[in-house]
């Protein structure tokens, strides 16, 4: 789902040689290397490369291959150049992710004036310059090293152009000292923007050899490549990448944050406090030290002499900040996006341990920008579709994982699909003893009912529920939708007695179930505002036209399941997983109203209900005196039309006021 990032491996000492200044050819040095490839910090494959003189051209050959949850992802690449600053050609054949074919050929003329790209059988000609480089996304990793050497040899230009339409900006980060065979080694970090959507961090040694890169892949997932020499330092690379990117993002978003004092007043707004009470016009809502200190229904308005920052809410609606209860906060760029979209709290449902704890701590301390971040620690079992590096295959390992997450400040444990069924009650028991709750996928070999009996407090994704309530099977026609069978009634009664929480992520199913021939814009108008590097991949999602009817039936089944869960009075919380960044939570609420929720119930599914579920309702979720000042000021009434949650005038997070437009712009979106 995410446009790819390119990595490079190239000649070692070339950039240290005086001959580079005159763009001399370098055809005498041979180089080879191996990188370990990781996803969610789990080693999933390797890339080997060679760099040598072949028939008068500097030639890079890369063999990049990993296995992601049972799917092989191979990619072979050949890159040629006359020297480090004069690319000639680039050819890639294979895939960059499970769902991303990559069969592209680039060629650059000798005068570096034109680039010809052959993609999907179509040939296109583009203008070029001396600062144009040939690169094709995040894979293979070897091309990142070539990119970095090109940039340095070119005198570190402000921008590097790439075909078809990217512009790459590189800036130095902080040095990092790692240990190699007991000896300290200093590596130099660089923050790269424009190669993918958002930023990535690369490290070079003193000889311009690429040591590591931390990025995201074409599926919005964490992806790392580390030279074998430095593999033991993976956690350090992940932590520094998060810190580097947060610091860079803070500079970009500075214009969005109001320099407010400790006291804030919002006047003349209509208050929707989130409790379910009838909206009411209030004279002033006062905020001190990040909390609501007073709500005045009437009375005199504050004056400038009162040393207050005053926001005039005339004609506007003040409501609690939104929650996204199914986030995968895999890039720091999600922080300003969430705030721009009015999301002030997210529950991260599975991430790299070192990344997410670093980001959470930075945001909480004021060193980063983003919503309040709550962690559901991911644990899986070992198997062909294992996700991530945190696994448990024995009771002892299961308990230890839970304790580790508890010590790291997680609020929940998330169990993934490969967990052994007999370890589920072990994990649940340990989590409950430590005050944590349990959510997750339903593991292979279990039903939703069995997972709840074994200790699940919540279920991620409504597809598991509809599968078991309606006895849907993959590859078979959707059965009649009937929730009155004895089995369905028994399951629903169980969910009610256990107070099971459902984060349905139905917006994701709607996006993926539509026919790929149907523009995504017809469902989600926000796609027209998304950064161009993301929009193309998101628009390419959907069901193949030949299977559109079947996908539509399956979506109808999950929508009916959502409607039935709500009719039964079961607990539903809003979450998006990974769909259209920033916009999909609003679409989720719109679907809730289509499914029979009142607008107030839809709002509460993204405000007060999540706060109650996570036992934070004394602190968050409603606008009441003493609670944290997480608020949205809307230009229109969301109870009259749920689509008005999109009309955000200000986002207020812990009393800090943000304008949405510069937040969107900081990550390449249109306001």
Count CB atoms within 10 A of the CB of residue 362. 22
The two three-digit tokens of residue 101, written as one number: 């074919």
Q: In angstroms, rounded to a whole number, what is the distance separating the alpha carbons of residues 501 and 326?
A: 12
Q: In angstroms, rounded to a whole number, what is the distance separating the alpha carbons of residues 360 and 337?
A: 16
The rounded percent of the chain whose pLDDT value lies above 70 is: 95
Contacts (Cβ under 8 Å, ≥6 apart) of 150: 84, 85, 87, 133, 160
Does pLDDT of 17 surpass 50?
Answer: no
Pairwise pLDDT comparison (367 vs 49), residue with the higher score? 49
Query: What's the pTM?
Result: 0.91
The two three-digit tokens of residue 287, written as one number: 């905020």
Does pLDDT of 11 surpass 60?
Answer: no
pLDDT of residue 14: 28
Contacts (Cβ under 8 Å, ≥6 apart) of 464: 441, 442, 448
Distances (CA, A) of 18 to 14, 22, 149, 435, 545: 9, 8, 14, 63, 58
The two three-digit tokens of residue 636, written as one number: 């229109």
Contacts (Cβ under 8 Å, ≥6 apart) of 574: 322, 323, 324, 325, 503, 585, 588, 589, 592, 602, 605, 606, 610
Terminal-to-terminal C-alpha distance of the chain: 22
Does pLDDT of 538 surpass 60?
Answer: yes
Pairwise pLDDT comparison (347 vs 96), residue with the higher score? 347
Q: Which of 3.10.310.30, 2.30.40.10, 3.40.50.300, 3.40.5.50 would CATH assign to domain 258-321+622-671?
A: 2.30.40.10
What is the overall mean pLDDT for the chain? 92
> Where exactly are the structural domains of the chain?
14-168+206-228, 258-321+622-671, 322-460, 462-596
Let me know if the fold of 258-321+622-671 is the same as that of 322-460: no
Q: In angstroms, rounded to a whole number, what is the distance separating the alpha carbons of residues 553 and 550?
A: 5
Does pLDDT of 27 surpass 50?
Answer: no
Residue with tokens 């289509």: 594
Does pLDDT of 88 surpass 70?
Answer: yes
* pLDDT tens digit sequence for 288-325: 999 999 999 998 899 767 788 999 999 999 999 999 99
Does pLDDT of 15 surpass 70?
Answer: no
Residue with tokens 């005039």: 312
Q: Pick from 14, 164, 56, 250: which is nearest to 536 by CA?
A: 164
Tell me the three state secondary structure of residue 627: coil
Length of the chain: 671
* pLDDT tens digit sequence for 76-87: 999 999 999 999
Q: Which of 3.40.47.10, 3.90.1150.10, 3.20.20.140, 3.60.40.10 would CATH assign to domain 322-460?
A: 3.20.20.140
- Identify the DSSP state of 158: S
Q: In angstroms, rounded to a whole number, what is the distance separating the alpha carbons of residues 606 and 319?
A: 11
* pLDDT tens digit sequence for 204-256: 999 999 999 999 988 888 999 999 999 999 999 999 999 988 888 888 788 77
Q: In angstroms, rounded to a whole number, what is the distance separating the alpha carbons of residues 493 and 150?
A: 64
* pLDDT tens digit sequence for 606-627: 999 999 999 999 999 999 999 9
Q: Pick from 254, 257, 334: which is nearest to 658 by CA?
A: 257
Does the N-terminal peptide bond of residue 132 adopt cis geometry, omega within 30 degrees of 0?
Answer: no
Give me the mean pLDDT over the 516-533 stretch: 93
Q: Please, are residues 49 and 225 in contact by the beta-carbon 8 Å criterion? A: no
Does the N-terminal peptide bond of residue 164 adopt cis geometry, omega within 30 degrees of 0?
Answer: yes
Q: In angstroms, rounded to a whole number, what is the distance separating the alpha carbons of residues 332 and 354?
A: 13
């Amino acid at each position: 789902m995410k446009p790819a990032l390119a990595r490079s491996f190239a000649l070692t000492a070339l950039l240290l040689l005086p001959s580079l200044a005159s763009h001399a050819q370098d055809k005498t040095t041979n180089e080879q290397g191996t990188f370990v490839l990781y996803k969610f910090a789990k080693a999933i494959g390797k890339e080997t490369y060679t760099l040598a003189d072949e028939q008068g051209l500097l030639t890079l050959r890369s063999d990049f291959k990993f296995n992601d949850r049972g799917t092989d992802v191979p990619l072979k690449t050949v890159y040629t150049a006359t020297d480090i600053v004069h690319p000639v050609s680039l050819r890639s054949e294979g895939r960059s992710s499970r769902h991303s074919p990559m069969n592209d050929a680039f060629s650059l003329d000798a005068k570096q004036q034109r680039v010809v790209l052959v993609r999907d059988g179509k040939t296109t000609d583009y203008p070029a310059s001396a600062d144009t480089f040939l690169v094709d996304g995040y894979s293979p990793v070897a091309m990142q090293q070539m990119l970095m050497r090109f940039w340095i040899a070119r005198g570190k230009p402000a921008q590097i152009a790439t075909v078809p339409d990217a512009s790459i900006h590189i800036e130095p980060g902080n040095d990092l000292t790692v240990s190699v065979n007991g000896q300290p080694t200093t590596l130099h970090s660089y923050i790269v923007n424009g190669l993918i959507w958002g930023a990535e961090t690369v490290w070079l040694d003193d000889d311009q050899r690429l040591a590591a890169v931390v990025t995201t892949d074409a599926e919005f997932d964490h992806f790392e490549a580390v030279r074998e020499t430095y593999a033991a330092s993976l956690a350090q690379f992940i932590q520094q990448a998060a810190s580097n990117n947060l610091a860079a993002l803070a500079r970009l978003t500075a214009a969005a944050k109001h320099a407010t004092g400790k006291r804030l007043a919002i006047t003349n707004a209509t208050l929707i406090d989130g409790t379910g009470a009838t909206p009411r016009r209030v004279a002033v809502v006062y905020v001190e030290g990040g909390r609501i200190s007073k709500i005045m229904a009437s009375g005199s308005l504050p004056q400038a002499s009162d040393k207050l920052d005053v926001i005039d809410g005339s004609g506007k609606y003040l409501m609690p900040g939104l929650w996204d209860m199914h986030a995968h906060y895999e890039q720091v760029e999600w922080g300003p996006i969430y705030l721009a979209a009015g999301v002030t709290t997210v529950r991260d449902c599975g991430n790299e341990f070192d990344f997410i704890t670093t980001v959470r701590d930075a945001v909480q301390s004021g060193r980063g920008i983003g919503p309040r971040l709550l962690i559901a620690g991911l644990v899986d079992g070992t198997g062909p579709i294992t996700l991530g590096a945190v696994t448990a295959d024995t009771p002892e390992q299961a308990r230890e994982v839970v304790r580790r997450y508890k010590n790291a400040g997680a609020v929940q444990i998330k169990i993934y699909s490969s967990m052994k069924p007999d370890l589920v009650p072990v994990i649940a028991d340990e989590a409950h003893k430590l005050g944590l709750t349990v959510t997750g996928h339903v593991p292979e070999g279990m039903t939703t009912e069995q997972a709840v009996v074994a200790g699940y407090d919540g279920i991620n994704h409504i597809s598991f529920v509809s599968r078991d309530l309606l006895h849907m099977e993959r590859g078979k026609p959707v059965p009649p939708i009937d929730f009155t069978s004895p089995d369905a009634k028994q399951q629903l009664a169980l969910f009610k007695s256990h107070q099971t929480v459902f984060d349905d992520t139905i917006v994701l199913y709607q996006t993926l179930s539509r026919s790929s021939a149907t523009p995504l814009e017809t469902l989600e108008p926000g796609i027209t505002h998304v950064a161009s590097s993301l929009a193309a991949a998101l628009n390419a999602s959907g069901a193949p036209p030949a299977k559109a009817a079947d996908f539509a039936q399956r979506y109808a089944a999950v929508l009916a399941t959502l409607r039935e869960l709500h009719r039964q009075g079961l607990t539903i919380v809003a979450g998006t997983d990974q769909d259209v960044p920033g916009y999909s939570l609003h679409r989720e609420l719109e679907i809730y109203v289509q499914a029979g929720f009142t607008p107030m119930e839809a709002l509460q599914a993204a405000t007060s209900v999540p706060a109650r579920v996570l036992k934070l309702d004394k602190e968050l979720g409603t606008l009441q005196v003493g609670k944290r000042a997480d608020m949205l000021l809307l230009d229109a009434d969301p109870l009259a039309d749920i689509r008005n949650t999109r009309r955000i005038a200000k986002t207020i997070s812990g009393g800090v006021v943000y304008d949405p437009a510069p937040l969107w712009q900081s990550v390449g979106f249109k306001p």
